Amino acid sequence: MDKLDLNTLFDILEEMAKKEADGHITILRFTTGWKVAFSTPDFNSSNGMEQISKLKNYETIREAIKDLLIERIKLDDI
């Protein structure tokens, strides 16, 4: 996966999201780094912020996507 360009990683991510989470992907950028997961945060309750805070920070979007493809992190499971 290290040799795949970002466009290819996004294509794989999109296909996996369709299978894993009805097409939903959350990608967030903070001053501390990137956070990604399948599904959508539950912002109708305080649960959404808790879900986001539990996600790992990544220095680059590339690292975040690669780990998501391997770990298959779903907000519903957090």
pLDDT for 2-21, tens place per residue?
688 899 999 999 999 999 89
Residue 74, pLDDT above cutoff 80: no
Half-sphere exposure of 60 (CA within 13 A, CB side): 4
Mean pLDDT of 56-76: 88
| Token pair belonging to 34 | 């990137």
According to the model, what pLDDT value does residue 60 have? 96
Mean pLDDT over 41-70 rounds to: 91
Q: Stretch 26-31: mean pLDDT, rounded?
A: 96
Q: For residue 26, is pLDDT > 80?
A: yes
Per-residue pLDDT tens for 35-51?
Answer: 999 999 988 888 888 89
Spatial separation of the C-alpha atoms in residues 78 and 4, rounded to whole Å: 28
